[in-house]
Structure 1
Amino acid sequence: MSRHAAPPPRLALPPEDRLRSPRTGWTRAHWEAVADHLLDSLRPYVSPHGAAVHLPGPASWSGRRTDGLEGFARSFLLAAIRLAGAGGADPADRAGRWARGLVAGTRPGGPEAWPALTDGSQQIVEAAGITLALHLSRPWLWDRLAPAEQDRVAHWLSGVVGRRTRDNNHVLFQVVTEEFLHSIGAIGDRGGIESGLARVEEWYRGDGWYQDGPRHRSDYRDTRDGKIRSGPGPGYDAGDRFDYYNAWGFHLYTLLWARMAGARGAQRAAVYRERLRLFLRQYVHLFGADGAPVHHGRSLAYRFASLAPVWLGSWEADEPPLPPGLTRRLASETLRHFVRHGAPDTRGLLPLGWYGRFPPATQAYSGPGAPYAASKGFLGLLIPPDHAVWTATERQLPIEEGDFTLPMPTPGFLVHGTRRDGLVRLLNHGSHYLTAPPSAHRDDPHYAKLAYSSRTGPEVGEAAPERFDNHIALISPTGAVSRRERIHRVPVPGTCIASWHHPRTDGTAPPGACRIDSVSVVCGRWEVRVHRVTAPAGWTVREGGYALADRTPPTPHTAGTHATARRTDGLTSAVLGLHGWSSAHVRSGTGTNAFGPHSAVPYVCGATRPTGDGLYVSAVLLGECPKTTLAEVLPQRCAVTVDGLTARLRAPGQGQLLISPGAPQPVVADSGGHRSAADTWLDE
């Protein structure tokens, strides 16, 4: 920002409407106010000719020039949505500023000419954003450009034709760009469009879920210099990636492509709408009562871009998959949540982070303008003001209607929420992102954890390399800590979920026979974890609970094999070692969590068995607890006993289960057990 630049505008919100919006008070006018505030706050960072938005922060691996394009393209989409939603009304000429930048960026040899689209480049991503903006606002932007200006824009966009893209959601960026070019007569061959859509079809896995690219890949971007390379030999295992790209990528771009294609896309559009319907049935459960999405996956700085498919459900269907009052409630609650937590910040900017700026959770491909992919979350402004989604009375979220436990078998999630604290927790035994070679550490903390939630984030960054939170680790005699990389799913019934993995370490590698089989069982707010650990004698086993973060250090407490960390607002993370553990601790951190500068992780430790095979049982809690001492937080009413490599668990609503991780049937119902004095009790 210039030293003499005007101060950022203040976010001024209109009066609340508690009649139509009894939960949030927010209306369409609130959405328009936030959109205008985001656009107006960018003025000091726009280049002289308007073709770049250079926001403060370190450059991505694509370099400052492309980062400026990224800032432009993503905010241009918001300007276009705002313009189209207002029927072309633009008294402040917000969209006009971006239109002038469009002309400057596509002027060959001009002082702000954008870099050409090349194989696998970030420019392909941004071209798709520009394309969507032009399509959505076509009567007021594209159609008003002079023919020569249209030709220059089309020429720059045409650089995408025939290019090699990353073998993941990036395929759709090429598809929508080529479809727009076809619609304006700039290209005639639809072969690239059809092949791209066919490629994406290979990644659909069911229940509305797309996997982000194939499991086996050969292309990767080297994190050391950002260049596209091929993997060693025939390729590499990229993992089974399920995350928010399913929401703001696959569903968004397939359905917007269908709108561009018109009659040609009608058959596919019907399929895409049905998939969206299936997806939203599950997706609506991934938001807490305060609107916070579960903190899982990459590109989380996009924040309320997660709302794109929610709005699409009302925009695309005559009979929306979600009731209109629920759609607006969820969307407004989520946007309001981030606004209340400082996004946008005091400058009116969306920094790289979750609430505030948090570089450790930022991917190297993201420049300072990357968070403006959040523009996708404003799609609701394209829906007319008299539509039911804007006029219906807000409804309760699923988490407010009662506790739930929802299996999501396609991505390998078990999601459970509790009404009393409005928390949603995601138990992950399926989705994993394996970093491409030459990286030796192939796990990613936003995918490799056993659990995630709507109010916590994983410990990340160089200051947190030990893998404590929501992780079971083998620790070698030399101190090497194992990673959870490829997750192998194991089918189990109902409110249980299971998987196994080969623990991998640096330095002293565990023998090939090392294996950890894990079963998680939901018991109200608690999760009971049963692990079978196959490892050499003399190693340490360690398991952590949720990382709790706040502005002030959470209060730790330990007793025996029980440990808790508690925030001043009562949010508590606890781990109880029920079998196999010998001690409990709390690890404190600073600057390692997106939810606050101070964090704490309760964890338990034990030793591997002399036989090389042992069972470890723990109970993990994340929830609001008004009590302050460990003894008052300790649970009741669930019983656990262990016999060899089998745990017997009895819990309200569960009956009695025999849990034998690693067995052909890891979980079976048992009706013949009885309570003994050795039972350990948990609450419901």
Structure 2
Amino acid sequence: MQLPPDDLHRSPRTGYTRAHWETAADTLLAAVEPYATEDRALYHFPGGRESVSGRLSDGLEGYARTLLLAAFRRDERALERYADGLAAGAAGVWPRIEHRSQPLVEAASIALALRLTRPLLWDRLDDGVRQRAAAWLGDALHAEAWPCNWELFPVTVGGFLAEIGHEPEASAKAIDRGLERIERWYRGDGWYTDGDGRKFDYYNGWAMHLYPVLHAWLAQDERLMEMYGGRLSRHLADYARLFGADGAPMHQGRSLTYRFATTAPLWLGALTGRTPLSPGETRRLASGALKYFLDRGAVDHRGLLTLGWHGPDFRVLQGYSGPASPYWASKGFLGLLLPADHPVWTATEEPGPAERADASTPLAAPNWLLQSTRSDGLVRLHNHGSEDVRYDPFYTRLAYSTVTAPSSSYDNSVIVGGDPSRTEIEPLGVGEDWAASRHRSGSGGAVTSVVLARGAVEVRAFRVTGVPEGTEIRVTGWSADAGTRSELAPAAGLSAPVDEPAAPEPAGAVTTDPGLFVVLARLTAETDPEPLAEAATVEVTGTDEFVVRWTDGPVRRVRLDGSGVEVT
């Protein structure tokens, strides 16, 4: 992708300006055009993979998600092409919107795009085309959604149809129904779960906040804006910490192939004025993520977004991922709705949280501890509250980072009796430098876990009960990637460490004595860190108690028992 020269005066961190975002959008839109059908209603991208919904639905997905990009870019010539596709698609080419069907998802992108560009696209269509398109979209008002972020797709369609006066009563009901349903998943502090359970990931930003806030903003509904905008602002205070200094988002959760869609809530906060972030920090984080992926092969030689993370990588895909799925990255171009003279485009870039200082940040709602280090720009997420067994290993590992991916060798796990399963995760609390949880192992035992963090160093402790003496228990650390170093050293009750395993195998230590055991762990990109064993000493003071003495910091006393975890 040929981008403008870097502007290191305005953007000393990334070099990116609005011109870079515009060029990226234009290049992506130009690249997809050859893959449109003759009537422009479907976009069939190569990729060697078809989603579970089938080729026709995948073609609709290609239309809808790239239309969203054209809408954010407000590209009138491109929108003319999509107008042709809308006329053909609504006349019978597109599959109908049915209960829990993929076209419901794509209808939301189409409706949002039409609402955002109404003077440029919708208002210029013939009456017959508008009637057929509204009728096709109207099925979304009555379609049952999957009980997750899908509940917001009828809301988004309803918002547009209500605006144009199509089925106003049904549209209002669809909006109220969807917004009411997501309330049961709000956990406070700006965090939602993606449906029942404790599924915390990027769907918070690119779905659970995006659609309600945009609807409230477009409808000029002050009551809804106060509620959903306030939640977004609170969320962004945490969300900004999920990006590494190199621009990488946290490698956790599902649908990671959407890549820089992670920037959507950052732009949304600036667009609506509901953000704690400065304009320079907002653009630095967003541009950092776009640059991160463009520099690492997210776009192939044809100019197409690939199915994967950097380049093609089927490990990050789900069954619903088809050739056009990556184009939900279009959400990342939301910032182009801001005028060129908006402070988010004119301000000088400011460093993000990972660049400012070492920090351990507790997030109470998901029961996460975020650990970032300025010296190497890494961010680590200690997961003591998020779980979705459908998408393991991207939910159930003990830790994730901005520079590593879950390994097939079960990094960041407690493997009891040869079984690495971690289910029924029960949060036990977080503090300024710690997080704890309890889970059920596949062998039937119960594992209570706590992590304490200082700088890049972690103290991880586990208490395993309910398994026979002689059961092998293996604790693993980080799976190191290129340019990083993983270490793990037993501090109590474990042996046989692998201090520096061959990448990407995780470091590990073992025991056959269920009970309390402790390790020191570290993931770092520093070339010459202090010896891990010198960072802290650990003294076990009872069957469920130990003391951590940080060499350059405080003394922490920890108790793990049947009632929970106490850190003082």
The yes-or-no answer on 1:165 pairing with 2:97 is no
> Retained in 2: the 8 A contact 1:587–1:600?
no
Q: Which moved more, 1:384-393 or 1:36-45?
A: 36-45
SS at match of 2:219: helix
Return the alpha-carbon distance in structure 2 between the equivalents of residues 72 and 347 of structure 1.
18
TM-fit CA distance, 1:582: 2.3
Aligned pair partner of 1:661 in 551, 556, 560: 560
Q: In the TM superposition, what whole-angstrom CA distance separates every residue of 1:282-335 from its partner, at most 9, and x where no partner exists?
A: 111110111111111000000111111100111101x74211111111111111
Return the alpha-carbon distance in structure 2 between the equivalents of residues 65 and 587 of structure 1.
49
> Retained in 1: the 8 A contact 2:490–2:497?
yes
Return the alpha-carbon distance in structure 2 between the equivalents of residues 665 and 371 of structure 1.
42
Return the alpha-carbon distance in structure 1 between the equivalents of residues 10 and 499 of structure 2.
46
Aligned pair partner of 2:546 in 616, 631, 647: 647
Aligned pair partner of 1:241 in 199, 217, 236: 199
The yes-or-no answer on 1:303 pairing with 2:294 is no
SS at match of 2:490: strand
What residue number does 1:426 align with? 381
TM-fit CA distance, 1:666: 2.4
> Retained in 1: the 8 A contact 2:298–2:308?
no
What residue number does 1:470 align with? 412
> Retained in 2: the 8 A contact 1:580–1:615?
yes
Aligned pair partner of 1:519 in 431, 434, 450: 450
What does 1:76-225 align with in structure 2 at a 5 Å threshold?
76-83=67-74, 90=76, 93-108=77-92, 113-189=93-169, 190-215=172-197
> Retained in 2: the 8 A contact 1:484–1:503?
yes
What residue number does 1:599 align with? 504
What residue number does 1:580 align with? 493
TM-fit CA distance, 1:163: 1.3
> Retained in 2: the 8 A contact 1:402–1:418?
yes
TM-fit CA distance, 1:663: 4.9
The 3 A distance-change label for structure 1 pair 517 and 290 is same
The CA RMSD measured in Å over matched residues stands at 1.8
The yes-or-no answer on 1:496 pairing with 2:434 is yes
Return the alpha-carbon distance in structure 1 between the equivalents of residues 184 and 461 of structure 2.
35
TM-fit CA distance, 1:492: 4.8
Aligned pair partner of 1:536 in 468, 471, 474: 468
Q: In the TM superposition, what whole-angstrom CA distance separates every residue of 1:640-684 from its partner, at most 9, and x where no partner exists?
A: 112342221111565222222225462343xxxxxxxxxxxxxxx
> Retained in 2: the 8 A contact 1:492–1:665?
no
SS at match of 2:441: coil
The 3 A distance-change label for structure 1 pair 173 and 652 is farther
> Retained in 2: the 8 A contact 1:492–1:666?
no
Aligned pair partner of 1:484 in 401, 408, 422: 422
Aligned pair partner of 2:218 in 242, 248, 260: 260
SS at match of 1:642: strand
Q: In the TM superposition, what whole-angstrom CA distance separates every residue of 1:316-370 from its partner, at most 9, and x where no partner exists?
A: 01x7421111111111111111111111122211111110111122000111101
What residue number does 1:444 align with? 392
The 3 A distance-change label for structure 1 pair 587 and 106 is farther
The 3 A distance-change label for structure 1 pair 340 and 185 is same
> Retained in 1: the 8 A contact 2:480–2:506?
yes
What residue number does 1:546 align with? 478
The yes-or-no answer on 1:373 pairing with 2:305 is no
Return the alpha-carbon distance in structure 1 between the equivalents of residues 551 and 123 of structure 2.
63
Q: In the TM superposition, what whole-angstrom CA distance separates every residue of 1:136-190 from its partner, at most 9, and x where no partner exists?
A: 1111111111111111111110111221110111010011101211111111212
Q: In the TM superposition, what whole-angstrom CA distance separates every residue of 1:198-241 from its partner, at most 9, and x where no partner exists?
A: 111221111111111123xxxxxxxxxxxxxxxxxxxxxxxx11
Q: In the TM superposition, what whole-angstrom CA distance separates every residue of 1:376-426 from its partner, at most 9, and x where no partner exists?
A: 000110000011111111111111111111100101110010000000000
Gaps of 5+ in 2: none
What residue number does 1:228 align with? none
Return the alpha-carbon distance in structure 2 between the equivalents of residues 639 and 445 of structure 1.
31
The yes-or-no answer on 1:250 pairing with 2:208 is yes
Return the alpha-carbon distance in structure 2 between the equivalents of residues 492 and 358 of structure 1.
34
Return the alpha-carbon distance in structure 2 between the equivalents of residues 458 and 493 of structure 1.
25
What does 1:263-302 align with in structure 2 at a 5 Å threshold?
265-302=221-258
TM-fit CA distance, 1:99: 2.0
- Judging by fraction of residues, say which structure has more helix: 2
SS at match of 2:91: coil
Aligned pair partner of 1:69 in 28, 36, 60: 60
Return the alpha-carbon distance in structure 1 between the equivalents of residues 224 and 552 of structure 2.
42
> Retained in 2: the 8 A contact 1:203–1:212?
yes
Return the alpha-carbon distance in structure 1 between the equivalents of residues 105 and 58 of structure 2.
12
What residue number does 2:515 align with? 614
**Paired AA for residue 426 in structure 1:** L
Q: How many residues align?
A: 563
Aligned pair partner of 1:56 in 21, 46, 60: 46
**Paired AA for residue 232 in structure 2:** L
**Paired AA for residue 178 in structure 1:** G
What residue number does 1:313 align with? 269
TM-fit CA distance, 1:625: 3.3
> Retained in 2: the 8 A contact 1:412–1:429?
yes
The 3 A distance-change label for structure 1 pair 625 and 324 is closer
If the length of structure 1 is used for normalisation, what is the TM-score?
Answer: 0.80
Q: In the TM superposition, what whole-angstrom CA distance separates every residue of 1:475-522 from its partner, at most 9, and x where no partner exists?
A: 2xxxx4130012101125321110011112xxxxx34xx211101000
The 3 A distance-change label for structure 1 pair 252 and 500 is same
Return the alpha-carbon distance in structure 2 between the equivalents of residues 156 and 662 of structure 1.
58
> Retained in 1: the 8 A contact 2:298–2:312?
no
What residue number does 2:526 align with? 625
Return the alpha-carbon distance in structure 2 between the equivalents of residues 449 and 666 of structure 1.
19
Q: In the TM superposition, what whole-angstrom CA distance separates every residue of 1:427-448 from its partner, at most 9, and x where no partner exists?
A: 000011133xxxxxxx610000
The 3 A distance-change label for structure 1 pair 185 and 396 is same
Return the alpha-carbon distance in structure 2 between the equivalents of residues 338 and 369 of structure 1.
17
Q: Which moved more, 1:536-545 or 1:273-282?
A: 536-545
Q: In the TM superposition, what whole-angstrom CA distance separates every residue of 1:534-569 from its partner, at most 9, and x where no partner exists?
A: 1212211111112223xxxxxxxxxxxxxxxxx4x3
**Paired AA for residue 489 in structure 2:** L
SS at match of 1:199: helix
Identity of aligned residues (%): 43
Gaps of 5+ in 1: 1-10, 84-88, 216-239, 436-442, 505-509, 550-566, 590-597, 670-684
